[in-house]
Structure 1
Amino acid sequence: MSKAIIEVKQITKHFKAKAVVDQVDFKVYEGEIFGLIGPNGAGKSTLLKMIGGLIFPSSGEISLFNTKMRGNHAYFERMGLLIEEPGIFPHYSAYKNLDLMAISYGLTDRKKYINELLNLVGLGDVDRIKVKNFSMGMKQRLGIAIALIGSPDVLILDEPINGLDPQGISEIRKLIQELNKKGITIIISSHILEELSKVATRYVILNHGKVVENISKKELFLQFEERVELEVEELKQAIPILERHLNIQKYKVMNEHSIYIYDNHVKNQQIIKILTENGIVIHSLTKHKQSLEDYFLKRTGSGGESHD
């Protein structure tokens, strides 16, 4: 596994008496697309601001590149941030917006660098048009270009597809994947698990400021595969029988009595017949399939709070 370049330990953030982020733990590994998913008000933006050094936690610890953060550390400069709305000047062109930011970074040979960034985010042919005439998707891509100035190791994107039409969502998704292929570690938040599932490699589900799930893409997609949920008296005896007689290979043992079977070629009646013939007592057998939305709602409920 790649090394962890961001580690969040027991991070809490209070606004007045309210804990908006509450004892959060997770790691982000080099080269991954890390998905932070949660309903509006779950605390996603607040958490990303703390990771990016824009605000500081009330308690807990953040380590960047294996170094504990204390105040305005230089490691924060190795991250590019697009949190909430991009900070752009609407009456300037995309080129001018990037040029102003490049000047603040003290970059030389800015023209070549800016044109490369514009081409990277798909704005090379509109670099002279005023940003006020951009679509929402174009503004988001410009915001990402601004976050990329300084060649960050980590890119933090807060709800980058929020408010976009299907074409805009597709363009941002492709851009995120392209940037990741270039070696940039990406943290992306969303309240839409269906869309985030198309790009992220690992997920933390946040609700009411707390982590309710930390799960890999492989583990997540197992939740949505059609499966048979089987509970028997003697699971250790049942598994070899299922493997030998029904060629069941794709399964997950849940506890000493329960197993999830993902082999779609096997019928329920076949499972019942072979286990009964071999003296295995069956307590229950059900077919199960859930959507991404069902899974998300089951873990987060129906809504969030006023802060995010």
Structure 2
Amino acid sequence: MPECIIEITQLTKTYKAKAAVRNANLSIGKGEIVGLIGQNGAGKSTLLKMICGLIYPTSGEIQLFNEAAGDRPALFERMGQLIERPGLYPNDTAYEHLYALALSRGLKDSRQQMEALLQRVGLAHVRKTKVRHYSMGMKQRLGIALALLGSPDVLILDEPINGLDPQGIVEIRKLILELSQTGLTVIISSHILEELSKIATKYAIIHKGHIVEVISREDLLHSCEERIELEMDDVTTVLPLVEQHLQITDYKVVDLHTLYIYDSTIENYQLSKLLVEHGLTFHSITTHKQSLEQYFLERTQAAGGELND
């Protein structure tokens, strides 16, 4: 388990009578890429703004680097963020943006770091070109460079691929993966689960301000891969048989009546034949495969009724 460097507990943000985020709980380990997934208006941006200190929570607690955040700006300064779109000046160059930010933060001897950042985000060759000539993807990369100034421990990106063309999406994805390999912790929000699945190591699904599920990349992919679902009165009676006769080891006992088998070499008829030969009755044997989008929709729809009560 990676060292926990961000932990939020019962975090809530209310605007007048409306709660944008309600009782959110989430732990983030060092070096993780956490994908915050939710529909537009689900509360992603509000949650990220609280984590990086841009707005105060109505209630709840935030711990950063094993310390209570409170009003300690030094802890929030260890985070770089790009919330929504970068605020850029069209008549300034990329270098001028970085230089102005370095001055405002009192960073000394920042020239070498600025050059390195522009190189890292792929803008070194246009560092003296005015931003009004940049594509959307180039502006996003400059926003990430600004967020990385000062060598933060955590990078927070809110919908960084929104509005990008396919080439721009690939460029941002590649950059995030390269940054994570340096040990940087990344929190990235999106409503596109398919894209997050290519980079995130853990997911937090947020719906109507609630974090309804936190799941690892491995568990998510395992839940969505093709499987055989066996329904019977007591699945424990069949486990010795499938292990001995079908050499199945990749399975999951969901409950007393349900067994998931993930071995792609096994066909339904082989399982039913085995059960019949040993006098075991069953209710159903079906093949199930779920897309990432279907998984997300099922979780949010299941939570929707609970949240409206």
Give 1:298's aligned residue. 298
What does residue range 1-308 of structure 1 map to in structure 2 within 5 Å? Answer: 1-301=1-301
What secondary structure is seen at the aligned counterpart in 2 of 1:265?
A: coil
What secondary structure is seen at the aligned counterpart in 2 of 1:161?
A: coil
The aligned amino acid for 1:190 is: S
Give the distance between the partners of 2:279 and 2:32, measured in 1 at CA. Answer: 47
Task: Decide whether the 8 Å contact of 1:53 with 1:72 is kept in 2.
Answer: no
Tell me how far 1:181 sits from its aligned partner.
0.5
Tell me how far 1:281 sits from its aligned partner.
1.9
Give the distance between the partners of 1:279 and 1:71, measured in 2 at CA. Answer: 67
Tell me how far 1:236 sits from its aligned partner.
1.5
What secondary structure is seen at the aligned counterpart in 2 of 1:282?
A: coil
Task: Decide whether the 8 Å contact of 1:234 with 1:281 is kept in 2.
Answer: no
Tell me how far 1:64 sits from its aligned partner.
0.4
Give the distance between the partners of 1:248 and 1:179, measured in 2 at CA. Answer: 39
The aligned amino acid for 2:203 is: Y
Tell me how far 1:108 sits from its aligned partner.
2.4
Task: Decide whether the 8 Å contact of 1:232 with 1:282 is kept in 2.
Answer: yes
Give the distance between the partners of 1:102 and 1:126, measured in 2 at CA. Answer: 19
What secondary structure is seen at the aligned counterpart in 1 of 2:126?
A: coil
What secondary structure is seen at the aligned counterpart in 1 of 2:283?
A: strand
The aligned amino acid for 1:25 is: N
The aligned amino acid for 1:169 is: I
Give the distance between the partners of 1:83 and 1:40, measured in 2 at CA. Answer: 14
What secondary structure is seen at the aligned counterpart in 2 of 1:241?
A: helix
What secondary structure is seen at the aligned counterpart in 1 of 2:124?
A: coil
What secondary structure is seen at the aligned counterpart in 1 of 2:224?
A: coil
Give the distance between the partners of 2:177 and 2:188, measured in 1 at CA. Answer: 12
The aligned amino acid for 1:291 is: S
What secondary structure is seen at the aligned counterpart in 2 of 1:199?
A: coil
Give the distance between the partners of 2:62 and 2:107, measured in 1 at CA. Answer: 29
Tell me how far 1:224 sits from its aligned partner.
1.8
Give the distance between the partners of 1:49 and 1:20, measured in 2 at CA. Answer: 12
Higher relative contact order (CA 8 A, sep 6+): 1
What secondary structure is seen at the aligned counterpart in 2 of 1:125?
A: helix
% identity of equivalent residues: 58
Give the distance between the partners of 1:219 and 1:139, measured in 2 at CA. Answer: 34
Of residues 65-74 and 150-159 in structure 1, the stretch that sits farther from structure 2 once superposed is 65-74
What secondary structure is seen at the aligned counterpart in 2 of 1:254?
A: strand
What secondary structure is seen at the aligned counterpart in 2 of 1:223?
A: helix
Deviation string for 1:142-195 (max 9, x for gaps)?
000000011000000000000001100000000000111111100000000000
Deviation string for 1:235-254 (max 9, x for gaps)?
11201100111111111110
Tell me how far 1:85 sits from its aligned partner.
1.0
What secondary structure is seen at the aligned counterpart in 1 of 2:125?
A: coil
Tell me how far 1:111 sits from its aligned partner.
2.3
Tell me how far 1:271 sits from its aligned partner.
0.3
Give the distance between the partners of 1:226 and 1:64, measured in 2 at CA. Answer: 39
Tell me how far 1:50 sits from its aligned partner.
0.2
Structure 1 runs of 4+ with >4 Å offset: none
Give the distance between the partners of 1:14 and 1:69, measured in 2 at CA. Answer: 19
Unaligned runs of 5+ in 1: none
Deviation string for 1:203-243 (max 9, x for gaps)?
00000001111100001001221111111222112011001
Tell me how far 1:299 sits from its aligned partner.
2.1
RMSD: 1.3
Aligned residues: 303
Give the distance between the partners of 1:280 and 1:123, measured in 2 at CA. Answer: 66
Give the distance between the partners of 2:211 and 2:108, measured in 1 at CA. Answer: 43
Of residues 274-283 and 117-126 in structure 1, the stretch that sits farther from structure 2 once superposed is 274-283
